[in-house]
A and B are shown apart, each in its own frame.
Chain A
Amino acid sequence: DAGVIQSPRHEVTEMGQEVTLRCKPISGHDYLFWYRQTMMRGLELLIYFNNNVPIDDSGMPEDRFSAKMPNASFSTLKIQPSEPRDSAVYFCASSFWATTYNEQFFGPGTRLTVL
């Protein structure tokens, strides 16, 4: 079975540009999570969805960040305009409520560099 798929794997952009990160969760999973990992702040949850509905977006840093989940198999995280401090690895994860532990399965991450 395919795991969580993220694209692009690497993104280099200039300050002020719009960046869109994409995620395809594991088929059948009903939860989707977006995380950001930096050396300074570690791994922090940005937002998560249940059945395509945003449940908790308290970790979204500011209005420049937005996330959507138009259907069960696709989600985007958009940064507009991007800033150098947004440079990080962004992970998408998915889970299914009926698994034994409801553990989250992570994608390979997108390494974003904003110049």
Chain B
Amino acid sequence: AQKITQTQPGMFVQEKEAVTLDCTYDTSDPSYGLFWYKQPSSGEMIFLIYQGSYDQQNATEGRYSLNFQKARKSANLVISASQLGDSAMYFCAMREGYNTDKLIFGTGTRLQVFP
């Protein structure tokens, strides 16, 4: 079974609009962490935001926020006020448990922001 599922291979959004990128995860471990990374066309992976399984509030970092629904096992990334520079691949990843630092990545969503 897929540990991390990103069902949207591609998304389009107009500049200045908000967009939600979906991520669902599968784990039986009560302790886990969820990450979102951005990969622009230049290729580097850039850390955006983190949500811990015990965090009471949804994580926010500037224009990025995480819509964390634990019961549904979803951790959707919301980008507000999209900019042309947000066009990139976005990856959701999970770290399970206390005893590993291994990240499992989803297949990614390609976001295109148009003027």
- CB-nearest residue of chain A to B93: A43
> By the criterion CB–CB under 8 Å, are A48 and B43 in contact?
no
A89 within 8 A of B: yes
Tally of contacts, chain A with chain B, CB under 8 A: 50
B residues within 8 A CB of A31? Answer: 101
Residues of A within 8 Å of B, CB-based: how many? 25
Q: Give A110 Cβ to nearest chain B Cβ, in Å.
A: 10
- The 0/1 profile, CB within 8 Å of A marked 1, for residues 74-115 of chain B is 000000000000000001000100001111111110000000
Best-surrounded residue of A91, A95, A100, A101 (most CB of chain B within 10 A): A101
> By the criterion CB–CB under 8 Å, are B103 and A105 in contact?
no
Known A31-B101, A43-B91; contact A103-B107, beta-carbon cutoff 8 A: no
Report which of A103, A109, A111 forms a contact with B47, defined as CB distance below 8 A: A103
> By the criterion CB–CB under 8 Å, are B47 and A104 in contact?
yes
Question: In the complex, what distance in Å separates the CA atom of A106 from the CA atom of B40?
Answer: 13
**B contacts, CB < 8 Å to A:** 33, 35, 37, 42-47, 50, 52, 91, 95, 100-108
**A contacts, CB < 8 Å to B:** 31, 33, 42-45, 48, 50, 55-56, 89, 91, 93, 95, 100-109, 111
